[in-house]
Amino acid sequence: MKASELAVLKELLATPKKIVIVPHKNPDGDAMGSTLALYQYLVKTGHKAHVVSPNDYPKFLKWLPYEDTVVKFDLQNKKAVRLINEADLIFTLDFNALSRVAEMEPALQNASAQFVMIDHHQQPDDYAVVTYSDTSVCATCQMVYHTFEMLEVTDLIDADMATCLYTGIMTDTGSFRFRSTTATTHQVIAALIAKGADNALIHEKIYDANNFSRMQLLGTALTNLHRLEEYRAAYITLSQEELDAHDFQKGDTEGFVNYGLSLENTVLALIFIENKQEGIIKISLRSKGDFSVNLMAREHFEGGGHTNAAGGKSDRSLEDTVAYFISILPQYKEALNE
């Protein structure tokens, strides 16, 4: 964060404020961990704070400290709109454009509050008075920790806050394996464990919470795994029918895309998931090395993200979306074989 922006943030937080903290739609571990840690800090320091999420999040996050205080915009619309309208300050965490909150965007656009963005995605929009954006940091949770360092308030981090921050760093780094995981990340993690984050328990709560139908759905996904060897690519499809047959719940397909990338000699993996209710195919893209799925998602699938992890969507049918993906691969052949 620039010194001038830090000064603005300090000034904004110098007196008690009404504050709303917003994660992106379909929040993941990093979005929920970062918003809930910031929430606890703000409440501790005398602000009236609420996390307002565009929609619900997966069951494997429903143990995070204070998650039961989260207001869901789609389910508790009146309350959410009132909090947004009354807010002096709105923090947007783990996203880079207001469109990432989908149906909640008009409410944020109409808000009279000032905005603070803390985010690690590429090409942030310019809507905040403080924009703390760093694409080199693995997780927004690590950036929230750095924010606490800059505000000189790390002594306020207790076990609950540490648990939230640990969770987001763990989930956004694939358990500390992605290239974005640095020595600094491990130093932050060490500090969080020292403050009471129970690493073994957090791993268990996130990764050992599978129900039987999710494992069966994974079986179907692996059966649908295709390899495109000349492009060092792999993809998985899941139709609405297949999801329904396995009692699909939000979050059940989290991580499936990585199985494609775990095939030897594969540098690009996608998963195409049909969503009949929204009339779209939701796409997750992952890559290894320098191949940018952020660019592929931006150019072809109305999305974006990071170099090695991005998301997007398509209005075509599942079959046509896959056919379109295969049709664009020749233009990437050289880059995929570098």
User: Which positions touch ligand 5GP (CB under 6 A)?
Assistant: 284, 303-306, 309-313
CB of 183 to ligand 5GP, least distance (A): 22
Residue 11 or 315: the one with the smaller Cβ distance to ligand 5GP is: 315
> Least distance in Å: CB of 266 to ligand 5GP?
17
With CB atoms as reference, the residue minimizing the distance to ligand 5GP is 311
121 vs 232 by CB, closer to ligand 5GP = 121
- When the beta carbons of 76 and 122 are compared against ligand 5GP, the nearer one is 122
Find where tokens 């803390």 sit.
Answer: 118
Instruction: Kindly state the smallest distance separating residue 316's Cβ from ligand 5GP, in Å.
Output: 15
Least gap, CB of 325 to ligand 5GP (angstroms):
15
Contact 99, 298 (CB under 8 A): no
CB of 9 to ligand 5GP, least distance (A): 23
Burial track 184-204 (b if 16+ CB lie within 10 A, e otherwise): ebeebbebbeebebeeeebee
Using the minimum distance from each CB to ligand 5GP, give the nearer residue, 196 or 255: 255
Q: Are 49 and 19 in contact (CB under 8 A)?
A: yes
Spatial distance between the Cα atoms of 52 and 108, rounded to a whole number of angstroms: 11
- Would you say 260 or 311 has its CB closer to ligand 5GP? 311
- Identify which of residues 156 and 209 has a Cβ nearer to ligand 5GP in the complex: 209
53 token code pair: 């999420």
User: Minimum distance from CB of 197 to ligand 5GP (Å)?
Assistant: 22
Shortest spacing between CB 71 and ligand 5GP, in angstroms: 21
**Nearer residue to ligand 5GP within complex by CB, 76 or 324:** 324
In this complex, which beta carbon is closest to ligand 5GP, that of residue 68 or of residue 279?
279
Smallest distance, ligand 5GP to C-beta of residue 271, A:
8
